Structure 1
Amino acid sequence: MLRPLHDGTGNSWHKRLRRWNGYSGRDNDAYRRLCIYLAGDVSGTRELQHEAADEGSIAGWNAARHAAPTAWRRRVPLSIAFTDPDIASIGCRFDRLPAHALIGEARGSGNGRSKIAGHEDNLVRLYADPASGRLLGAAVLSVGGEHLAHLLAWAIQRGETVAGLLEMPFYHPTEEELIQSALNDLLSKMEKSDPLARGLNRY
């Protein structure tokens, strides 16, 4: 019969894995006694297939070189529920936003494609740092939201800003314009907002 390991204080290793380092895959608390490398659901953090694959690579790399473990930059958190409409969380979640973060919003009722298709309930919210304009995270409730979520995850991963993203083309009529509208909403809340020709650059 398998039994959980204990540390002598009555706490099982399962409870102590809260000190697990997702950047190296190693349980720091266990290091002095044994090296434990974790990946996937057992880590209790990002329980998603693409995250587990990254964690497996990180844990395997460091397990083979455990005298000098390497910390790896993790991808931007991305989770999608394939419901109708899709629900997605990208980057920093709303409940973890810094107090000063700005929130921009766009609804399907104001988007041409959403209205034509009867998707007026679509909703996109973007979170940004007011000083730098850098995109911090997003939440999506939208038909086809899985595609919007990927665009936003890539933008956050690359450190894009509100102004920089508004320089990108947005075709009309598309539900991608929800992102453009939410970006414009964010820009209007920034102190250094330029009301003239948003998204265009002067030569």
Structure 2
Amino acid sequence: MTDLECRLLVIGGGPGGYVCASRAARMGVDTILVEAGRLGGTCLNIGCIPSKALIHVAALFDTARRQAAGGMQGISVAEPVLDFAAAQEDCAEKVATLRAGVGGLMERSGVKVVQGHAWFRDGKSVEVESETGTLLVRAENVVIATGARPVELPGLPFGGKVLDSAGALALTELPERLAVVGAGYIGLELGTAFARLGSAVTIIEAAARILPQYDDSLTRPVRRRLGDFGIALELNSNVTDWQAREGRLTFQSDGAEQVLETDAVLVTVGRLPNLDGLGVGELALRMTDGFIEIDEHCRTSMRGVYAIGDVTPGEMLAHRAMAQGEIVADIVAGHANGWDRTCVPAVCFTDPEIAVVGLLPGEPSEETVVSQFAFRANGRAVTLGDTEGFVRILARKRDHVILGIQAVGPGVSELVSGFALAIEAGLRVEDIAATIHAHPTLSEALLEAALMQASMANHG
């Protein structure tokens, strides 16, 4: 067995892990990164990036089809033809480019990358089963950054026609009929993409609403658009049986049994911390519901062992993991850092998109003021031919400090970082209202929502 020693060992090469490793190494910390699969983790290889690439392809194809079916904004084209295999190859090339970039970053930073499965002997030593044999890595500090895995449903084990999100993104042929179980952001994003590409999509959700973590006014535009895309939505519904050979899915909807024939079933009902096979049972880690408990410095209950990203309680978002990775890298390098973020932005790449930062209406304990400006009165949205949605500001009544900003509409994902900046900086609505926003842009909807509280909207 080969022995290696380092000051920092990072287990998991996803967004949180590779950011932590690269940052620490560039500050002079001797760093080893262990990854069982491909650098970039779930987000880059089988999640965020390929799904957004597919969503973009779907939007292009759907636009071309509408242009062929009677024209769109004065543009008419011949009936478009989708080469799904070529579209998937294009998505794979984008992923490969970014993955190569992560590999280059590790090399330039001086991170030693070890390909293999890690298993804890104790809090300071980890065995790695690699292609070249077993390695024993002894480290002063260890970071667990192994991400999450999709949840299986009883009677619907992954395999064959039953897909998780990675399986759906790896399809080489477009399914004629697709059932999606779960109307969270993954199910809605991928279900909408496949519908726009031409699949007959049915979404089955146990709750009474889509995206139940958000209020109805925020999700209503997305639900309306599902109907425009021909997506059948079955709420208050639970899958009761699956006949794989026949491709027959049975579910209960409001007490009535329904049978759906489908070519594939995409299950998107949640994700769990990916800790199996890691040997965390050898460690004295404090756990809650399968997640590793950490403090504001990402320290676990065991000295020298840190955890970041989806294995810890909180939002399962790549950018949260990256921020935590920065914290750990700084601490190990001898610099002060800790979690002092006020908010973590979230985006659903549905159609229209949803962007959420900070508190939602109904969450604050103090009295608040809410203002909302619709995109139908926004010049840029009108020129785009897409006026669905709004920007909404939630501010504390006594001092007008912004507590939350939400938006649903075209391209609002590109506005979300500005929303987060306003909350992190402790801005008041008057600060936004006094900032000139370029015209014509979608961001003017934020200005107008602020003006509605500070004085009066210019176009409301």
Superposition TM-score tier, normalisation by shorter sequence: 0.7 to 0.9
Match of 1:120 among 362, 387, 390: 387
Once the two structures are superposed, residues 148-195 of structure 1 have per-residue CA deviations (whole angstroms, 9 ceiling, x without a partner) of 21221122222211111111112333222211121122225xxxxxx6
The answer to whether structure 1 residue 39 and structure 2 residue 308 are counterparts is yes
**Secondary structure of the corresponding residue to residue 128 of structure 1:** strand
The answer to whether structure 1 residue 105 and structure 2 residue 378 are counterparts is no
Match of 1:25 among 270, 284, 298: 298
Aligned pairs for 1:33-72 within 5 A = 34=303, 36-62=305-331, 71-72=338-339
How far, CA to CA, are the matches of 2:441 and 2:404 in structure 1? 22
Aligned pairs for 1:47-196 within 5 A = 47-62=316-331, 71-74=338-341, 76-188=343-455
How far, CA to CA, are the matches of 2:386 and 2:306 in structure 1? 45
CA displacement at 1:141 relative to structure 2: 0.5
How far, CA to CA, are the matches of 1:5 and 1:24 in structure 2? 22
CA displacement at 1:114 relative to structure 2: 2.1
Unpaired segments of 5 or more residues in structure 2?
Answer: 1-276
Q: Provide the TM-score with structure 1 as the length reference.
A: 0.73
Instruction: Identify the structure with the greater strand proportion.
Output: 2
Of all paired residues, the percent bearing the same amino acid is 24
The answer to whether structure 1 residue 5 and structure 2 residue 278 are counterparts is no
* 2:371 counterpart letter in structure 1: G
Change (3 A) 1:173 1:53: closer
**Secondary structure of the corresponding residue to residue 150 of structure 1:** helix
CA contact (8 A) 1:119 1:143 kept: yes
**Secondary structure of the corresponding residue to residue 87 of structure 1:** strand
How far, CA to CA, are the matches of 2:417 and 2:278 in structure 1? 42
**Secondary structure of the corresponding residue to residue 20 of structure 1:** coil
The answer to whether structure 1 residue 15 and structure 2 residue 289 are counterparts is yes
How far, CA to CA, are the matches of 1:36 and 1:2 in structure 2? 14
**Secondary structure of the corresponding residue to residue 307 of structure 2:** coil
How far, CA to CA, are the matches of 2:339 and 2:376 in structure 1? 42
How far, CA to CA, are the matches of 1:84 and 1:99 in structure 2? 33
CA contact (8 A) 2:369 2:396 kept: yes
* 1:161 counterpart letter in structure 2: R
Between Structure 1 and Structure 2, how many residues are aligned? 182
How far, CA to CA, are the matches of 1:156 and 1:14 in structure 2? 29
How far, CA to CA, are the matches of 1:5 and 1:149 in structure 2? 39
How far, CA to CA, are the matches of 2:372 and 2:344 in structure 1? 20
Unpaired segments of 5 or more residues in structure 1?
Answer: 189-194, 199-203
How far, CA to CA, are the matches of 1:180 and 1:69 in structure 2? 36
CA contact (8 A) 1:77 1:92 kept: no
Change (3 A) 1:19 1:109: same
